[in-house]
Homo-oligomer: A and B are copies of this chain.
Amino acid sequence: MTPTLDHVLVAIADPTRRAILGRLSRGPARITDIAAPFEMSLAAVSKHVRMLERGGLVRRARQGREHMLTLDARPLRRVVEWTSRYERFWNDRLDHLEAFFTQKGQVK
């Protein structure tokens, strides 16, 4: 099942989950390896990993009693595609935005 953009974004919206992706960017790892640097229970880490799997960013392969986790960064491409639509707004529209708020004089 292809993860929705919502699931991808929810998956990366948490600093622990982004740190797990950082760890997996250095190579496949067991869930116990991943849990080690975090002061969290294995259950809590597993829950984060499930959110990452739902976002399609982590793949899990069973090796006997162990689970090996691997990064799959491809869903992030969709995040880049979505954000790139707004690229022109942080380039040439800043003046426009500033002009609008200076005119109103009431930035909240």
Contacts and interface: CB of A to CB of B under 8 A. Distances in A.
B89 A73 contact: yes
A95 interface: no
Contacts of A39: none
A65 interface: no
A18 interface: yes
Contacts of A59: 97, 101, 107-108
Interface stretch (A30-38, A40-48, A77-85): A77-85
Interface residues of A, number: 44
Contacts of A68: 104
A82 B18 contact: yes
Contacts of A83: 76, 79-80, 83
Interface of A: 5-6, 9-10, 12-15, 18, 21, 25, 28, 59-63, 68, 70-74, 76-77, 79-80, 82-87, 89-90, 93-94, 97, 100-101, 104, 106-108
